[in-house]
Amino acid sequence: MAPPSSPTEPTSSSTATPVATPSPIPPPVPVETHPNRIRPAIHAQQPSDPTRLAPEDAYRAISPPRLRPIASLDGSVVSTSSAAASAAAAALRPAVASLRAPPAIPPVAARLEQERRNRALRRKQKPHIWKKLLWVKQRGYADNYTDPATFLDNLQRNPKLRPYDFWPLVADSMVIVQHVCSMVVFVSAYAGIYQDRLSPVAVVVCGTIATVIGWIMWDQWKCQEESEAETPTASTNDQDRVGRVGMNGSVPKPLLMHHDDKSSEGSSNGSAVPNAHVNGFANGSAKKAFGLSLSTSNLAAKDAENQLLKGQSHHGQSLSKSSFQSISPIDPLGEHKFSNIDDSFGQTNVLTRVTSNKSHPSIASYHYVPQSPTTLPPTVSPRNQARLKTFKSALLIYFALLGLSPILKSLTKSTSSDSIWALATWLLIINIFFFDYGSQYVPSMISPQAPTLIEDSISPAIGNLHTKPYHASLSNTASSRLHLSTIAPASAHPNTANTTTPQTASRTILPPNNTYPSSLSTNAAVMASTVLASRLPTTTAVFSLTLFSIQIFGLFPLFRRHLRSRSFSLHTSLTFALVLMASAGLGLILSQSYTHTYGDCGFCFAWCAHVVVRSLIGILVGCFSTAFITGGCAWWLISLQRYKNVVIGPWDPAKPVLAGGIRGGG
C-alpha cells in the first residue's frame, strides 16, 4: 500500500532503501491520471512544469535525491549533522511508515528539490532563446531583458541621405535669387515712381515689352512641345497596358485587345488607343503612307493661365479607303482639328469609336461629335485658340485695371503711410517665404497618358472587341462612369485625380503639377502692390504700378519656371540679368536723385554719368553680396549636413502604397 516514495524516507540515504521496502500492493493508479478525472492534456503539454506534479511522482520507484533533510510528517527533524543518526532513522522509518496510512500526497519537499534542480539545470543550459515576441512566455528572461542581438535592429539612420554638392546647390538656389531680385526690381520701381524719379508709363511700357517678348518665347516653346509630342506618339506602345484590372473591378482580367501580339505597333495603337493618333495600316509596312490625318484632340482642360495641355493634334493615320468608315463630321478631307473637351467651356463630347473588325481588325476610326458648339470656329487650331484666349484675358485685365485705378488711388486715403509701409513689407515677406520655389514645369504628356486611361476605363464596358464595335461615350455627366478628369489628368483637380485613382489600378497618373504656383504668395504680392499703389498720386501711376505688379508677380514666375525647364544657360543668364537689374535699381534708389539735387537737365552728360556711376556701385555691391550670400549659404548647408540624424524604424507610421501610384497623405 505504501508507495515507495514515502515522506519518511531519509533524504541523505541512497535510493536503495525505498526499493527494499516491501510493497505488497502495486502502486495504485493515481487519481490524476484517470482519464475521467482530470485533464491529461496539461501534463502532456507541460511535462516538466515544476510547479505541478507529474503523475509518475506518485509511484515512481526512484525518488529524486534531496540535498537536505526536511521536516517529515511525523515531526522529527533529521539533520545532516549526524549521518549515523540518519542512518538509524532510515532503518527505523520503513517500519514506522508501514504502520501509518499511506499519504495520498507525495512529499512536497522532494518536488521542490526537483524543481530547484531543474531550475539550476535550466539556468545552465538556457534552452529558451529569447524571441522578440509577446505571445511566448520568455522563460528565464525578465521583462526588462534587452536582447543585444535584436534590440534596435530595425533602426535606420539617414537612410536617404544624399550629400549635397556645392555647385548644384548654388544652381538650385538661383530660383530664390531670381524671385528676390524680381521683388527688389518691383520695390525699386515703386520707389522711383513714388519719389517722382521714374515715369510710371516708362515702367509699365518696359514691363509690357518684356512680358510680350516673354510670351512670344513661351508660345514658341509650346509649339515646339506640341510638335515634339506629335512625333514620338507613333511609338506609343500599349503592350504594357494589357493586363490591367478594369475600372469597376468586375472584370479581373481585362480584355486582350491585341489581335496579334506580333502585329505592327499600328495595329496595337489602333485597337487600344482610342483617341491617340492611330497608325493603322493594312499592310503593316507603310507608315503614314496615305497621310490622311485624323485629328484627335487635346482631351484636357485649359485653365485660364494657359496651362494648357498640348494636345496632340495631328496624327497621321493611314487607312485603307475601304475600311475608313467613320467620317469626320467637319472636314472629310482630313486635317480636322477639334478643341473639344474643355472644362472651361463646359462642353460635352462623345467619342465614338468604330472598329471594323471583319476584314481589317486592326483598323479603327474615331470621330468626335461635339454636342455643343464651341465659341470658336473649329478650324482654328488649339494653339491659336489659346493665343486668342490669352489675348482676350490680357485685354480684360487691362481694362479692368484701367477702370479700377481711380478707386485704388483713394483706397487707403484714411490710412497713414506708416501702416501701409509696414503692411506692404509684411505682405512682401509673406510672398518671399511662401513662394513655390520647388514647383517644376512638367511638360504635360497628355498624348501618351490620356489614351491609356481611357482604355482602362472603357475596357470593361467594351465587351468583346473582336465581335462587335463598341461605343465608348465620354461625357461629363454624372451618370456616366467615366469622369472627365480621368481623361484630363492634368486638369488641375488634384482631388478628382485622387478619386479616380483607385479605378485605374496600377497606373501612374501624372500629378497635376502645372497648376498656378502658390496662390498665397501671389495674393500677398498683389495685395502689397495694391496698397502700395494706393499711395501714388495719379491714376496713371496707380494703373502702371498695378499692371507692373501683375506682370512681375503673376506672369513672370510662370515664365521663369518654364525657362528653367527649357534651358539651364538661359535660366542662369536670366538670373544674372535680374541680379544686375535689381542691384542697379537699388543703387539708384538708395542714392541721391540727380534731378532733385541739381535740377532737371534732361538727358545731359552729368545726369548720365550720375546714373551710370550710381548703378555701377549698386551692381558691384549687389553682385558681390549675392554671390557671397549664395555661396556662403550653400557652404553652410553642406557643413550642416553632418549633424543630420534621421532615425527611421518600425514605429514610424507606414506610408500606404496604393496601386494608383498615389501615396496617401495625412
Strands 156-157 and 349-355: unpaired
Stretch binding another protein (CB under 8 A), from 65-73, 228-236, 305-313, 485-493 = 65-73
Interface map 7-26 toward another protein (x if CB under 8 A)? x-------------------
Options 52, 60, 122, 387; binder of another protein; rule CB under 8 A: 52
Q: Does the footprint of another protein cover residue 418 (CB under 8 A)?
A: no
For another protein, the binding residue among 24, 252, 332, 346 (CB under 8 A) is 252
249 binds another protein (CB under 8 A): yes
Give least dist CB 498 to another protein, A: 10
Which set of grid coordinates corresponds to residue 83?
549521518
Query: What cell numbers appear for 558 in the block?
Result: 510662370
Q: In angstroms, what is the minimal distance from the CB of 470 to another protein?
A: 22
Of the candidate residues 36, 81, 416, 477, the single one contacting another protein (CB under 8 A): 36
Shortest distance, position 39 Cβ to another protein, whole Å = 6
C-alpha span between 327 and 571 (Å, rounded): 47
CA atoms within 13 A on the CB side of 560: 29
2 contacts another protein (rule: CB under 8 A): no
Nearer Cβ to another protein (50/554): 50
- 3-class DSSP assignment, residue 316: strand
Angstrom distance (rounded) from CA 463 to CA 461: 6
Judged by CB under 8 A, which stretch of 149-157, 179-187, 212-220, 325-333 contacts another protein? 149-157
By the rule CB under 8 A, 649 interacts with another protein:
yes
The answer to whether 312 and 233 are in contact (CB under 8 A) is yes
Residue 576 vs residues 155, 216, 528, 611, 623: alpha-carbon distances, Å:
46, 21, 26, 20, 9
Rounded to an integer, what distance in angstroms lies between the CA atom of residue 500 and that of residue 87? 92
Q: Which of residues 88-147 bind another protein (CB under 8 A)?
A: 105, 107-109, 112, 132-135, 142-146
In the numeric block, which cell numbers belong to residue 317? 493615320
If the CB atoms of residues 14 and 506 are measured against another protein, the closer one turns out to be: 506
Residue 380 vs 658, nearer CB to another protein: 658
With contact defined as beta carbons under 8 Å apart, do 645 and 157 qualify?
yes
Count interface residues toward another protein (CB under 8 A). 58
Which is nearer to another protein, 49 or 165 (by Cβ)? 49
- What is the per-residue burial (b if ≥16 Cβ within 10 Å, else e) of 539-574? bbbbbbbbbbbbbbbbbbbbbbbbbbebeeeebeeb
646 is an interface residue for another protein by CB under 8 A: yes
Min dist. Cβ of residue 237 to another protein (A): 24
Pick 127 or 653: Cβ nearer another protein = 653
- What 3-state DSSP class applies to 351? strand
Dihedrals φ, ψ of 422, to 5°? Answer: -60, -45
Report, in Å, the least distance between residue 66 CB and another protein.
Answer: 11
Nearest approach, Cβ of residue 148 and another protein (Å)? 8
Q: Is 654 in the site for another protein (CB under 8 A)?
A: yes
Q: Should residue 495 be labelled a site residue for another protein when binding is judged by CB under 8 A?
A: no
Could you tell me the smallest distance in angstroms from the CB atom of residue 657 to another protein?
A: 4
Q: How far is the CB of 556 from another protein (least distance, A)?
A: 33
Q: Which amino acid is at 434?
A: F
Does 651 sit near another protein (CB under 8 A)?
A: yes
Cβ 193 to another protein shortest distance, Å: 42
Which SS3 state, helix, strand or coil, does residue 369 take? strand
- Binding segment for another protein (CB under 8 A), chosen from 245-253, 424-432, 528-536, 618-626, is 245-253
Question: Contact between 433 and another protein (CB under 8 A)?
Answer: no
Asked whether position 477 contacts another protein by CB under 8 A, the answer is: no
- Angle, helices 166-194 vs 605-640, to 10°: value is 140
Rounded distance between C-alpha atoms, residue 27 and residue 546, angstroms: 110
Counting contacts by CB under 8 A, is residue 255 touching another protein?
no
Burial of 216 (0-12, 13-18, 19+ CB in 10 A): exposed
Per-residue x/- track, 152-191, another protein (CB under 8 A): x-xx------------------------------------
The residue within the footprint of another protein, chosen from 505, 580, 611, 638 (CB under 8 A), is: 505
CA atoms within 13 A on the CB side of 449: 24
**Whole-number Å distance between alpha carbons of 634 and 235:** 43
Q: Is 156 helix (H, G, I), strand (E, B) or coil?
A: strand
- Report the sign of the C-alpha dihedral through residues 190, 196, 197, 202, in that order: positive
Say which residues have a Cβ less than 8 Å from residue 155's Cβ, sequence separation at least 6.
647, 648, 649
* Binding positions for another protein, rule: CB under 8 A: 7, 31-32, 35-39, 41, 51-53, 70-71, 73, 105, 107-109, 112, 132-135, 142-146, 151-152, 154-155, 245, 248-250, 252, 499, 502, 505-506, 646-647, 649-660, 664, 666
